[in-house]
Structures are given as structure tokens and as C-alpha cells.
Amino acid sequence: MLTKQLANQIVEQTMIRLNRNINVMDTNGMILASGEQERVERIHEGALHVAKTQKPLWITEKNTHKWPGSKPGINMPVYFQQHLIAVIGITGNPAVLKDVATLLQLTTEMMIHQSLIVSKSEWKRKMKEMVFEELISSTSYPPVLYERLDRLGFPLRSPYVTILLELPSTHYHGAVQQLEDYFDKDEVMVGHYQLNELFILTAGIKVEEVHKKIEKLPAFLQKNLSVRLGAGKPVETIEEVQQSFQTAKLALQYGQPETKITFFEEVEVLSLLKKSNSTEAKQFSNRVLQGLDEKYCTTLVEYFKCDQQLAICAEVLTIHRHTLTYRLKKIHETTGYNPSTFQDALVLQLALWLVSE
């Protein structure tokens, strides 16, 4: 439980503050770390006695002969969750060091507690990432996967929703903790998916509640932070999580770059169209949009995003309404399709979707 690395950290940190030699021993009396390097990996009989009795031991000039490998000082038991895990020793006159030794014991226990809690948290996070990877890689799971889900306390309750977050690398590492704090007692699994992407898997939360949580996420993570979210479709069984994940990826892939939140339902038609890489689809797109330069294509894209509302679109494009009307008329004349009528607008929208990357 107590590693040499942690023992060395304890020795380094406490010696800086106390200006005394410090030894850290395991429960077998082996010196793991010391300010006196030549003593490392030797048996400290005094520490071995402390480990057996679980009581402090004062070693003086008069009784050092009883404890081979020891020097005058005080050796104290170190506990974690009421279990003895180490012995800490400070070299010097015990009468002078009695108050310091108690403080050293407390400081050591706090450092170990912090380190082990962090290690446990890190282990749990890595386990979540490994389990999520297994969930999205197959639809047939080994029994051990269900055991891991149980150990993580993740409930097998529908619906399940996968959310993917894309965010700058500068905010990547702290985001997992922020998300866990944000969802608090909600039953979710959060972790790193790949470079600059995080995943959230919810279970047993109503879809409406999930959507409300998602809509507040960008503002929660940080104002003006460049965060994009893709929310997959809800599924009813844990074995279908792979589908929810795939649709979350599509939501991120086909959502507008400037849009912070994209639900799969918003891009479902587009994703179906994109599955077709046929020559006919490309020929259709080229034929419909032939003769339109980038300015007119951009005008069409914004016009459809604004639900064909002239005033709003003109404001978005920062042009006069008459200029927008003129452009739409030119598009009609060039393509033969009128952007203002439903059937023709549908043809133009499909062509734009198929030609965009």
C-alpha cells in the first residue's frame, strides 16, 4: 500500500520543514526511504517493534543496543483507515522531539491519506474509461464487464444516453472533475475518450432531464469556452450503448462548428444522406448547385438556418434585406430552383448537405 515513491516524498517534504533526518519503514521494519541513503533497505529493529506493538518507541543513547540498525529518536506507528501501514521515525533526542514526533505522525498520515485517495480516484476513473471502451466496442459482453459495472456503482437502468464533448486541450484535464461535480448524485459515467474528447454516459435519468442538463453544460464548464457537445439517441438496454455512442459521434460530426450543442435528431437526415457516397449523389449536387459561387452558397446555408426568414437572415449576413432578396432571385435564375418554396428549397438543401464535407 505504501510505495517507495510515496515514502521518498514524505521524507523529502518533512525534512525540509523539520530539518531533521526522517525514516519511513514498512510493517516489516524495512527502511523504504531515509535522509541517510546508506540506511535504505536495511532492517530497523525499532520500527519492527513498533509494527508489532503498534505503540510509539523512544530510542535513547542508553538503549540503542536493544534495537540493532537504529539510532536515537522516536518511531511512531502510521495508520490508514485504522490499519497500520508504516512506521515513521525522526532521529535525535527523544526528549526534545516528543511534540514534533506527534506532529510528524499526523502529517505523514495526512499525506498518505491524500495520496491513496487520489490513487483510488484515479483507478476508478481509468476503470470507467476501460468499461466504456468495452461498451462501445461490442454488443455482446463477457460476465466480467457486468461485474465491473457493479463495482463502479453504475446502474443497469434505462434509458442510456451517450454524450461526447469536444473541448480545447488547455481545459481538458480539469473538465472530468467539473463534470462529475456538475452531475453530482446523478448516475453517470464520465471519462476521457480520445484527444480533446470526453464522454458522459447517463443511466436511469429521464431523457427530458438529460436534455436540460446538457443545455446548461457549456455555460457550466466555462463562459466563452469553445465547447461542443454531441448527444446520442437514448437506448433501452446497456447492450445498445454502442448505438447511442455512434449517434453521438454523428451529432458532433455533422453539427455546425459554431453550434455548442447538437442532438442526433437534428442531424439524423443529414447523416443518412452522408452514408451515400455514390456517383449519382455527387452528380445531383453538382448539377443543382452548378453556377453558384461561395457567396451564393453561403447565402443559401444561412437562409435555411434562419428558417427562410428574410429579416433574420439579412441581419446574420450583415447585408440589406433588398440585397438578400436580389441574391435569392439570382439563385433561382441560376439553378432553376426557388429557395422560397418548399419543394425547391428541399432540393437545394439536399444538394448543400451532400456537397459539404
Q: pLDDT digit of tens for each residue in the chain (357 aa)?
A: 688 999 999 999 999 988 999 999 999 999 999 999 999 999 999 999 999 999 999 999 889 889 888 899 999 999 988 889 999 999 999 999 988 999 999 999 999 888 887 777 788 888 999 999 999 988 788 888 898 899 888 999 999 999 999 887 666 667 888 888 888 766 799 998 887 889 999 999 998 999 988 888 777 766 546 788 999 999 999 999 999 999 999 999 988 888 889 999 888 878 877 776 667 777 788 889 988 999 999 999 999 999 999 999 999 999 999 999 999 999 999 999 999 999 899 999 988 988 765
CA distance 92 to 103: 15
> 61 — phi, psi (to 5°)?
-60, -30
Q: How much is the pLDDT for 132? A: 94
Is the separation of the CB atoms in 203 and 188 below 8 Å?
yes
C-alpha cell at 4: 517507495
> How many of the other CB atoms lie within 10 Å of CB of 320?
10
**Angle of helix 94-137 versus helix 241-254 axis, rounded to 10:** 90
Domain ranges within the chain, ordered by starting residue? 4-117, 146-271, 276-355
Q: How much is the pLDDT for 334? A: 93
Residues 300/304/308/313 CA torsion (nearest 10 deg): -70
Q: Which fold has domain 4-117?
A: Beta-Lactamase (3.30.450)
C-alpha distances (whole Å) from 122 to each of 79, 117, 167, 289 are 22, 9, 21, 53
Q: What is the 3-state secondary structure of 155-205?
A: CCCCCEEEEEEECCHHHHHHHHHHHHHHHCCCCEEEEEEECCEEEEEEECC
**Angle of helix 207-221 versus helix 172-183 axis, rounded to 10:** 140
Alpha helix ranges (H) inside the chain:
4-18, 45-53, 94-137, 143-151, 172-183, 207-221, 241-254, 264-274, 279-289, 294-305, 310-317, 321-335, 342-355
Pick the CATH number of 276-355 from 1.10.533.10, 1.10.10.2840, 1.10.3720.10, 2.40.50.100: 1.10.10.2840
CA distance 148 to 131: 7
Q: How much is the pLDDT for 225? A: 63
Beta bridge partners of 31: 25
- pTM for this one? 0.61
Top CATH class of 146-271 equals alpha beta
> 43 — phi, psi (to 5°)?
-85, 130
Q: How much is the pLDDT for 224? A: 46
> 165 — phi, psi (to 5°)?
-120, 135
Q: How much is the pLDDT for 320? A: 95
